[in-house]
Structure 1
Amino acid sequence: MTRDRDDRLAEAKAKDIGDIAQQLEICGLLPWPPRHGMESVGPCPKCGGRDRFSINQRDGVFNCRRCEGRGDVISLVRFVRDCSMPAAIDWLIGPEAEISEIERNARRKASDENRRRNEDRADRERQREIKAAGALWREVAKNDHSALRGYLDARGITADLLPEIPAVLRYHPALPYMVRAERGFREVHRGPAMLAVVQQPSGRGIGCHRTWFDPASPQGKIALRDPETDADLPRKKMRGSKRGAAIRLHTPDHDWHQLVMGEGIETTLTAMCAGMWPEAAFWAGIDLGNISGRRQSGKGLKYAGLPDLADAEAFIPPPWVRELILIEDGDSDPRDTRAKLQAGARRAMAKIPGLRACIVACPPGRDLNDLLQEGGIDHVE
């Protein structure tokens, strides 16, 4: 790639994804237009899936959970316009033409300034989110956790198996559930929730994970719907940042070399109660994307499980971990789940010399906590 093409690529990448979304006339997202520090969510312009498509203004990325479209501003143009990368760059910054060195330097300077401005703005928003997550965590520093114990009991994680609730978990008796509106947010639910502090490997808390539950439900799970749109809502949400972080449910006081990681809190607690890894640390990975990090993309690579090692935000275990054990849920898309876990495992092995990693699979249609509630966890591979 020539230096001029490098400059064009950098100039295109520096474009503001919110501005480009408006130029592409993507409709139905809230808030609209996309605003810095907020994620706009709505129907996908390609597959039409309701509330499956999002544009993260802070991080400059988009994602569709149904048709697997994701990436930066160039990828967004390619996704919506169904065009090649060169055509997308031409659409963003104009066709390649002979320009003077003075004009080339001016464009390079403007691109660098735009990129720095976006990065500074994103960092300010991230710090505000981290501060808000800390305030939420401190809001319930002293309260009765008996309702949280009831939720864990309903998930089969009884006091016999888990005598003490990890200090990283807290109970909120009436946590508001907010969704985006034309102007700001609106409340669609308020009720009991489990909070979990999200920590970087250094121990610094940077986020608060929230799980709403229904104490009257047999398994504690709650079905949430938006009364205005009738859309299903996830019962788990993040506040703050999860960059390179995890929910550290248990870390041994002594020297430890095994790290067991499941996608969710309940799965990881179940693995912890199983007794198969008595000397290990148990950290929940928050979601598959966080465990996986960014993957290599391109023709034939969707399920290859190859990590993009240039991803500076992906989770990497601490350097003293010698064995990483990833728990694979069997109740989600098997190929996609396996590919994401493979990417996380391969990244860890590439970044930490001598580390070994393996994936423990559950039967199709089940996760580890399902097996516990059904009477045993002896069906893992």
Structure 2
Amino acid sequence: MKELSDIVKSWTPAQWDALVRRYLPAEVLTDNFWRGRPGPCPLCGGHDRFTFDNKRGRGDWVCRKCNAGNPKAGDGLELVRCYTGMTYSELWRDLNGERAVPIAPPFTRANSARRGKTEDPATKMRRIAKQWEAAAGLVPGDHAMRYLAARVPGLRAPRPTALRMAVQDYWYDGQLVGRYPTIVAQFTLPDGRMATVHRTSLDPVLPAKATPVTADGEILPAKRNDVSALPLAGGAVRLMQPRDGEVGVAEGLENAYAAYMLFGVPAWNCLNRILLSQFVVPLDLGIHTVHIFADFDKIDPKTRKSPGMADALALEKRLRAEGLRTVMHRPKLRGTDFCDQWRTEYQLRLMSQQAVTA
């Protein structure tokens, strides 16, 4: 068998990303995680002290408090080792196809609440289904519709069956932080099964995301996907029905709607760029053409790639190899997404109309 150093020495950044995806759960691998933004630490549980900076393209990360209150950093191997509790020897055997022990995350503040409950998929599915069934469909003027109208001005789209509205408690580390209007999005796998619900907490007054804050001042994320009953790879939030065999996919909810306003193509959202790259076309909907609405991220100096574009191109390559027609859409300006582009075009249209009227 190859030594661990021999296995990883020629790995590309994409292979290091794949290592992290293999061992860490979906609730950890958020879009903010992959973009290198400060967020919850999967090891010690701190909310905004962990950064997946990937500075060498080796799954690099840093936490300000992981080392007994002091900073700790490492590469993807160290992240996997610390999260799973495996030794390097066990990880080496696992990567060589000889798994020595079942992989389970260590007991930390971040996952202690999850480990205290039954973790089997059936129990998770019941929890997810309960949240979905307790939510109601969107209606004009509700918090969800006001939020979407603010993020995508002038929005006119079919009312989604995959989005619902609820008022939910926001719990963190065993404490009730607040109670917020919440968009509940049904995430569906290619075979039609619901895998999770993604939740966006909204401000009770303003048409904006909520800003949950703990008693000790930690700002918590408004968007959550904390329980998944099934692996998420391949799925999407099916916001609209495909039309004439065509559908579009985007990373985020707001971008999907903005792309719909720009191009008129029914759009789904995949939650983040990694899941976008893993999207699988359902076989039973007659889809033959996929429009890919990419985020035109700035170039990552470590990988020399635009993360959003790289994953969109990976999806395009795979879908074409599967015999599907693809259409790649990219925002006009680097460092923007289709929400940015639609807001600009919407304002220009308003200005043009006002000029004609005058």
TM-score under structure 2 normalisation?
A: 0.62
**SS of residue in 2 equivalent to 1:260:** strand
Indicate conservation of the 8 Å contact 2:185/2:197, yes or no: yes
Q: Distance in 2 between matches of 1:317 and 1:251?
A: 13
- 8 Å CA contact 1:40–1:55 kept in 2: the answer is no
Deviations 1:155-213 (Å, cap 9, x if unpaired)?
23546x23x421111111x212222x3xxx32223211111111112222221111112
Conservation of the 8 A alpha-carbon contact between 1:150 and 1:215: no
In the alignment, the residues of structure 1 paired with residue 298 and residue 76 of structure 2 have an alpha-carbon distance, to the nearest angstrom, of 26
Deviation, 1:224, is: 3.4
Q: 1:142 to 1:321 in 2, by over 3 A?
A: closer
Identical-residue share of aligned pairs (%): 20
CA distance in 2, matches of 1:54, 1:339: 26
Residue 368 (str. 1) matches residue 338 (str. 2) = yes
Aligned to 1:337: 308
Taking the aligned partners of 1:193 and 1:113, their CA distance within structure 2 comes to 42
Q: Deviations over 1:222-267 (max 9, x none)?
A: 3333332x34322111142433210001113x641x2211111111
Taking a change above 3 Å as real, the CA distance of residues 259 and 80 of structure 1, as seen in their structure-2 partners, is closer
Q: Match for 1:168 among 156, 162, 169?
A: 162
Question: Relative CO higher for 1 or 2, CA cutoff 8 Å, sep ≥ 6?
Answer: 2
Question: Is residue 251 from structure 1 mapped to residue 217 from structure 2 by the alignment?
Answer: no
CA distance in 2, matches of 1:38, 1:251: 26
Q: Equivalent of 1:129, from 124, 131, 138? A: 124
Instruction: Tell me how large the CA RMSD over aligned residues is.
Output: 4.5
Partner of 1:322: 288
Residues 215 and 364 (structure 1 numbering): CA distance in 2 closer, same or farther, change over 3 Å?
farther
How far apart, in 2, do the equivalents of 1:142 and 1:358 lie? 32
Residue 139 of structure 1: how far off its partner (Å):
0.7
Is the Cα contact below 8 Å between 1:197 and 1:205 reproduced in 2?
yes
Q: Residue 216 of structure 1 aligns to which amino acid in structure 2?
A: V
Task: Tell me the secondary structure at the aligned position of residue 226 of structure 1.
Answer: coil
Task: Name the CA shift for 1:361/1:370 in 2 (closer, same or farther; >3 Å).
Answer: closer
Query: How far apart, in 2, do the equivalents of 1:50 and 1:273 lie?
Result: 32
Within 2, Cα distance between the matches of 1:197 and 1:288? 18
Give the Cα separation in 2 of the matches to 1:95 and 1:216. Answer: 52
Aligned residue number for residue 276 of structure 2: 291
Partners of 2:140 and 2:133 lie apart in 1 by 15
Residue aligning to 1:178:
171
Choose from 221, 227, 233 the match for 1:234.
221
Aligned to 2:328, the other structure's residue is in SS state strand
Query: Is the partner of 2:187 in helix, strand or coil?
Result: strand
Q: Which has the larger radius of gyration?
A: 1
CA distance in 1, matches of 2:315, 2:267: 16
Deviation at 1:132, TM superposition (A): 1.2
- 1:31-50 → structure 2 map (5 Å cutoff): none
Paired positions, count:
279
Partner of 1:140: 135
Q: 2:145 aligns with which of 149, 162, 165?
A: 149
What's the offset of the Cα at 1:365? Answer: 4.2
Change over 3 Å in CA distance of 1:347–1:52 after alignment to 2: farther
> Deviation above 6 Å: which 4+ runs of structure 1?
36-41, 331-334
Distance in structure 2 (CA, Å) of the matches to 1:152 and 1:95: 47
Residue 214 (1) aligns with residue 167 (2): no
Aligned residue in 2 for 1:269 = 257
Mark the CA change 1:339 to 1:40 in structure 2 (over 3 Å): closer, same or farther.
closer
Question: Contact 1:316 / 1:347 at 8 angstroms: preserved in 2?
Answer: no
Instruction: Tell me the CA shift for residue 340 of structure 1.
Output: 2.1
TM-score, normalization by structure 1: 0.59
CA-to-partner distance for each residue in 1:63-112, whole Å, 9 max, x for gaps? 953336649xx97445699xxxxxxx99425999xxxxxxxxxx9xx955
SS of 2:89's partner is: helix
| Change over 3 Å in CA distance of 1:338–1:259 after alignment to 2 | same
**Structure 2: gaps (5+ residues):** 8-23, 30-35, 45-49, 61-73, 106-114, 301-305, 350-358
